[in-house]
Chain A
Amino acid sequence: MDAGGPLFVNERRSYRKELKKAAIGILSLMPMMLAIVGLVGIFQAFVNKEMLASLFSGDAVRDTLVGTVAGGIAVGQALISYILGGELLQEGISLYAVAAFILAWVTLGVVQLPLEAEVLGVRFTVLRNVLAFLFTILVAVATVWSIQWLR
């Protein structure tokens, strides 16, 4: 077959068989998946927004680091991070810190690290998360600088 042809080519495979294989693959991951879901529940029940807000001091540099770490540990829907970020801004926390916080919330995941390492390997997981941590700070700083430049 020509390797330059279309990506999707059905070679008379059984869809039912593929469905079963895919379901078994997901099923085998269920203990790890349930563990992560359990940790998400613990985090959301035991850590409230006042606790998160108390981590910030008002110093932009320190708060950007704190925002990245706090966002990386926090779990939940991205929408919650926007609402929390909006409240932090109103309380006078710097935009650098808030940008890092909402970005780390979605791109980093301390809680899901065991699952990521199990599925994609420890080496890749560490490399990806270290880069994501550094880029979260870079993107947050670049965003605020760009807004300031625009003004």
Chain B
Amino acid sequence: MAPVDSPKQRRFHWRGLKTFLAVLVLYGVLALLSPEKTMEAAKVSLGVLEEILPILGVVVFFTAALHYWLDPRKLAKHLGEEGGLKGWGIALTAGILSHGPMYAWYPMIEDLRKHGLRDGYIAAFFYARAVKIPLLPIMIHYFGWAFTVFLSLYIVLGAWVQGILVERIEGRS
């Protein structure tokens, strides 16, 4: 487990600067080829940004609250190596209840991982996010009860099996 506050980690640096510049160049090229569509893309991006900023705000407060109250040794017990069945339950429930795009949760997951959160739980959390409780009535409307119930059950089961497989594969190598 990496130390949480090593001097190297405390030093601030922008992450993904090259990718950001590459996307800016891509926008520049697309603006030359199709200015209207590119303007539309920029507007969509601004809309997405407006949508995720409040979620990132929640993530900041949540991460700070976890650090404030959380005992790293206890985290290792509940969501680390000794997590067991309870840990799987927490990871799957958190995945089902989490909102917003997956990438908004990456910073918090990274933080918890430094405290010992198991990779299997992370994989299970991400896959369980496919169950969207607020959208279940819409899914039922389009695809029916049976489809919605079976799909949701198999997603949760699949998330759990994937988590186990991630740990088996990582453990083997």
Over the window 128-155 of chain B, the binary record of Cβ atoms lying under 8 Å from chain A Cβ atoms (1 yes, 0 no) is 0110100100110011101100110011
- Residues A83-118 near B (CB distance < 8 A): 83, 85-86, 89, 95, 98-99, 103, 106-107, 109, 112, 114-116, 118
- Residues B12-47 near A (CB distance < 8 A): 12-17, 19-20, 22-24, 26-27, 30, 34, 37-38, 40-46
Residue B88 at the chain A interface, CB threshold 8 Å = no
Contact B20 A32 (CB under 8 A): yes
Contact A25 B111 (CB under 8 A): yes
Interface of B is mostly: helix
Given contacts A10-B68, A23-B60, A115-B16, whether A45 and B110 have CB atoms under 8 Å apart is no
CA distance A91 to B6 in the complex (A): 57
Contact B77 A8 (CB under 8 A): no
Contact A107 B13 (CB under 8 A): no
Contacts of A85 in B (CB 8 A): 142-143
Given contacts A32-B20, A132-B162, whether A9 and B142 have CB atoms under 8 Å apart is no
Residue B97 at the chain A interface, CB threshold 8 Å = no
Residue A122 at the chain B interface, CB threshold 8 Å = no
Residue B59 at the chain A interface, CB threshold 8 Å = yes
Contact A1 B64 (CB under 8 A): no
Select from chain A the residue with minimum beta-carbon distance to B49: A37
Given contacts A38-B45, A44-B41, A143-B154, whether A15 and B106 have CB atoms under 8 Å apart is no
Contact B23 A83 (CB under 8 A): no
Please give the distance in Å from B106's CB to the nearest CB on chain A.
Answer: 4
Please give the distance in Å from B168's CB to the nearest CB on chain A.
Answer: 11
Select from chain B the residue with minimum beta-carbon distance to A83: B142
Contact of A99 among B20, B44, B151 (CB under 8 A): B151
